[in-house]
Structure 1
Amino acid sequence: MSFSSLFESGESARNKSHFATLVSIAQSHDNMSAQETVVLERFKSKLDISDSDYAAILKNPSAYPVTPPTDSEERIQWLHDLFKIVFADHAMDDNEHKLLRRYATAIGYNDEDAKYLVDRSIEIFSGHLNLEDYRYLLNKDRK
């Protein structure tokens, strides 16, 4: 561990951990797609990941252990981010599905909740909504 990493903020460490998780999912199949790279670049900026950390994480994302979010709102945000990277190329393979379940558990959901949230999120992100859900989502924020 480097001297500077001893003084790294908790938020910075969580951001790197989360970004490494996103990279792991993007790299879970043979080649990262151009769309996944674009999404990772956006997350790099959003999570305030430096160029040197970006390169290091791309090279070895497993060097950054999962540091779970501290609250339920952040946990949902992370899960949403994971789905954004999975569906960046408009497809999800079995390996990505397994990783999503594993990461949902790693960030604090129990097995039952992780399964439900991942399965439901797949329905939402892949557009397989029934009419009632579609209507609810359309009118959710409408006054």
Structure 2
Amino acid sequence: MSNAVMIRSAVPGDAPALPGIFRQGEPAEFAERLSAPRPESGTAYYVVELDGKLAAAFALTPLGGLAPGHPPRFLLHEIKLGRRFRGLGVPERVFAWLAETMGTGQHVDLMVLGPTVDDPPLISDLGMVKAHHAFLWAAEKTSAVDGGAR
């Protein structure tokens, strides 16, 4: 592999590859979500191609901040990485892309929903620190109409 990387907005045509990356769901469910995003949420979905193959997916959501004097803040929903693409530097490339395109870590705050392990190495390598605890109030039912539960 030459490891050519492209990060782009996800489109409904990406749906067939997404169940393999997320290890759940059906292509039709992903296609529906990508063809009818909820603009009021502000969430944008992205995919990472490595050598022309879909390797990962992630989402970014702007977070409102009421306190004056604070930089803009975004939430990075965990990077879902296809198993065969592990160890190829994909998450590192996502963080580099975020710094280059959005200024994260410079003039934009980035909060990351990561794995439930303590201090993933990449997080500390990038100089990120624990800043908040996240809690989940799970939905009772999963529905393609309301976005489902996680």
Normalised-by-shorter TM-score class: 0.3 to 0.5
Give the structure with the higher percent strand: 2
Give the structure with the higher percent helix: 1
Structure with more contact order per residue of length (Cα contacts < 8 Å, sep ≥ 6): 1
